Amino acid sequence: MSLQELENTVTRLSDAELVAFAKWFDEFMADQWDRRFVDDAQAGRLDAAGRKADEHFEAGRCTPL
């Protein structure tokens, strides 16, 4: 199915179906983000940011949330 076909299908959903689809899609996107974050962390792509955060914390440049 092409993106255009998918868009056309979504526009024809009933209100109830659209709400259900939106809920599913939100959960799907959250899962995708979680997987990407884990992949990035395991591949070391977040290491530099973590080191920088540690440096700022140890230098007292952080404030409590």
Tens digit of pLDDT for each residue in 16-54? 999 999 999 999 999 999 999 999 999 999 999 999 999
Q: Is the pTM higher than 0.85?
A: no
Residue 3 DSSP label: H
> What does the pLDDT read at residue 64?
83
Confidence (pLDDT) at 22: 98
Helices (H) and strands (E) in the chain, counts: 3, 0
Domain spans, the chain: 14-58
Q: Which residues, other chains included, contact 56 with Cβ-Cβ below 8 Å and sequence gap of 6+?
A: 62
| Residue 14 reports pLDDT greater than 90 | yes
